[in-house]
Amino acid sequence: MIAKIQADAFLKQSHLLPVLDVRSPSEFLQGHIPGAFSLPLFTDEERAKVGIRYKNSGRDFAVKLGLQIVGPKLSWYAEEARRLAPARKVLVHCWRGGMRSESMAWLLQMSGFEVQLLDGGYRTYRRNIREQMALPAKLIVLGGLTGSGKSAVLRQLAIFGQQVLDLETLANHKGSVFGGLGQPAQPTTGQFENNLYQVWEAFDPSKTTWVEDESRAIGNVNIPDVLFQSMLKSPIAVLEVPLGIRVERLVKEYSGVPVEGMADAIMRIKDSLGGPATREALEALGNGEFHTIARLVLVHYDRLYSKSLIRREAGVAFCLPVTVNDTVKIANELIHLNQGK
């Protein structure tokens, strides 16, 4: 008999054993357990045909079609599984933990594998990670105006051994309309949540976790609602960084990105910038005057950030005036302030 295990046990085992995801390729691309291998029982086209047969003719006829499709590929499945899991111990799942994963598990067991199934499938895994992220945690949200270097400070906090949830790195996006410039393609929102939880599950809930102040959307992905609500209710530590330092940081980050992308981003905030400022920014872009662009854009984002502070429920835990762009010094001071509050 093939063992079925719950999502929390499955995830613990996934750090030790290969995970075979037998859903269709498009399901896998939409979101999968980090590190899982795609071993689809059906292609997208085959899955659609079986679904249509089920709807039109019933379960028995759908199963018959499925067997006709899968039969010629049985040997390939076994060989591919041996390549992915040479120790012949695997975890297997589909969407609901039904026929697809059970069929693959039966084949692999017959081929000499030790198989464990995810009870309830990927759907249960997704529900489980949301429940886990809803549990109480000691968050401190790192805030500050655009260009304050929050992401760099978070990375330094991580180097110092602090628990850090770097949402922008996980999202492949820096948060603003300029945030996708020069970044890899973003994951889907589902995959972003999965990758986020992989980091989250390693944290000690009794210790502070630092996370950057963000809008609900980071580019094209969304922060899970349970986490976003926790962030709004958590205290915020605000970096107070002079305009000059912020301008220099933005120039350093964005002066090398394609001009076309910069122009498109400027046009996306033209209504907030206003006509004269938009024209000035585009002209400055054409002349390579990135300091001018940074100053104009910061007017827009400073206004937005001031409004965003109003929505916070827990208020400001502490403010840290920053006079020198030294992330090591800033991170040390934040740790000290947090320990002393």
Residue range 234-259, pLDDT digits in tens: 999 999 999 999 999 999 999 888 89
Per-residue model confidence (pLDDT) at position 60: 86
Token representation of residue 166? 């770097």
Query: What's the whole-number mean pLDDT along residues 274-283?
Result: 95
Per-residue model confidence (pLDDT) at position 203: 97
Per-residue model confidence (pLDDT) at position 318: 81
Is it the case that residue 54 has pLDDT exceeding 90? Answer: no
**Domains of the chain: residue spans and CATH:** 3-129 (3.40.250.10), 136-340 (3.40.50.300)
Percent residues over pLDDT 70 in the chain = 98
Is it the case that residue 175 has pLDDT exceeding 90? Answer: no
Per-residue model confidence (pLDDT) at position 310: 67
Answer for the pair 211, 163: CB distance below 8 angstroms, yes or no: no
Is it the case that residue 209 has pLDDT exceeding 90? Answer: yes
Query: What's the whole-number mean pLDDT along residues 286-299?
Result: 94
The mean of the pLDDT values for the chain is: 93
Rounded-to-integer distance, Cα 86 and Cα 220, Å: 38
Query: What's the whole-number mean pLDDT along residues 26-40?
Result: 98
Question: Which residues are within 8 A (CB) of 43 and not within 5 positions of it... i.e. 6 or more apart?
Answer: 24, 25
pLDDT band at residue 126, thresholds of 50, 70 and 90? very high
Per-residue model confidence (pLDDT) at position 256: 85
Which range has highest mean pLDDT (45-59, 149-163, 312-326)? 149-163
Per-residue model confidence (pLDDT) at position 255: 85
Per-residue model confidence (pLDDT) at position 105: 96
Per-residue model confidence (pLDDT) at position 341: 62
pLDDT band at residue 311, thresholds of 50, 70 and 90? low
| 184 DSSP assignment | P
pLDDT band at residue 58, thresholds of 50, 70 and 90? confident
Percent residues over pLDDT 90 in the chain = 82
Is it the case that residue 317 has pLDDT exceeding 80? Answer: no
Is it the case that residue 192 has pLDDT exceeding 90? Answer: yes
Count CA atoms closer than 13 A to 43's CA, side-chain side: 4
Is it the case that residue 316 has pLDDT exceeding 80? Answer: no
Amino acid present at 148: S
Burial class of residue 218 in the structure, from the number of CB atoms within 10 Å of its CB (0-12 exposed, 13-18 middle, 19+ buried): buried
pLDDT band at residue 124, thresholds of 50, 70 and 90? very high
Query: What's the whole-number mean pLDDT along residues 93-106?
Result: 94
- 128-167 residue pLDDT tens: 999 999 999 999 999 999 999 999 999 999 999 999 999 9
Active site residue 319: no
Query: What's the whole-number mean pLDDT along residues 72-91?
Result: 96
Instruction: Spot the catalytic one: 94, 141, 142, 331.
Output: 94
Per-residue model confidence (pLDDT) at position 212: 96
Give the DSSP per-residue string, 111-161: TT-EEEEETTHHHHHHHHHHHHHTS--EEEEEEESTTS-HHHHHHHHHHTT
Q: Which of 24-38, 94-108, 315-329 has the lowest mean pLDDT?
A: 315-329
